[in-house]
Amino acid sequence: MNSILVSKLKCFKRVSSLIASAAKHLESLGYRQGTIGNYQYIWKEFAQFAQKNSGEETFSTDLVFQFLDSCGISDKVETNMTLRQRHIRNVMHALTDFALHGCIQRRSHVVAKTRLSDNMEEALSGYEHFCSEQLWSPLGTIRSRNRDITRFLHYLNSHGIASVKEIQASILSRFVTSCAHLKPATIAHLVSSIRSFLRYLYMTGGISINMAEYVPKIRIRSDAHIPSVWKSDEVDALLPAVDRSSPCGKRDYAILLLAVRLGMRVSDIRNLRFENLLWGQARIEINQAKSSEPLALPLTEKIGNALIDYLRYGRPASQLREVFLKANAPFMPFSYNNNLHYIITRYRRRAAIKLPAQNRKGMHSLRHTMASRLLEAGVPLETISGIMGHISMDTTRIYTKINVEALQSVAIDPEEVTHA
């Protein structure tokens, strides 16, 4: 199965001829000329991107990922994107579908508008309740798996399967193959969620055969990805780009400081509450959303001042305990699936920071940058692991793959963290 996926993940065709064929296919499906023209406009932008970045018009899924990333777009089903970004993602998914399958499929987020059968709804609801009761994983993880499984169930529904009892090995293989346009790590996450769901169904009698054993295995090396890091001048340019005179700017500046100087995960920044701020001890103490493990970080003077500035002069009046709230009414905390990508993208563009196309550009890249800076400064891996809140040292060792001698200083003083 893996060889099939690998062959489909790389698709080599001339972009110009692919676009022409895809446009004719849309016409055969009854699309209006105006809609086809809108598709072709985005595809032309992609063709120009391909020519500029690869020097040729050769289509590949990797090139699609780079193009989407250059537009600030993730391949996840639910992300915070503008209407234009959603349109670009959908149009590029259509082109990828045509390149891989010779037809344009309906995306899972479109199919998801149709109702699942009662049997599937009951199975999905039972799985989520079971995971919550058994404390298998944090709420964010359960919801993430729920989205993956929902995607799978809608695929089954679109292929005439109305009951989980009808799931067979062949449909599992076909579903994984249909996801070939996604990144390998995304496919691996989907497969893991489905395997967990099928294992639950077997344990609770929902299916008579353990179909989890028939889910294709997608092997992704844990150290295959070299973390993307920012250069010193790039980080130095990011923070001053924030307009700290506005309430929104005060909030965003404090958020970026927590990511840049402490390497906090987005989930922990979102969930930060007043009781986590121990002002008298100059510490931030949290239970990490990802692992539920406790983590203590220094509440430095610079971070403290930024938080105070936001809380006094920027935060909307509210009884909510979450520190960071949305800037527009209703003034609520960020949703659990908000990756705050638009915040870092806004100021990166305002500072005219040009990162390599293959680099990840989200908030997590600032976390990678801080860890890499500590490593360059000679801080022991064990200490870095503790600061980052890693459960396994294997996760921390990924940073040793980076050529630390080539790294520049970024926005953290190692002494500030390690001796707090």
Give the residue numbers annotated as catalytic, written as ranges: 265, 290, 364, 367, 390, 399
Enumerate residues 6+ apart whose C-beta is below 8 A from 69.
357, 360, 361
Q: Residue with structure tokens 């870095």?
A: 384
Question: For residues 251 and 347, is the Cβ–Cβ distance under 8 A?
Answer: no
Beta bridge partners of 285: 296
Using CA atoms in the order 158, 159, 161, 162, what is the torsion angle rounded to 10 degrees? Answer: 20
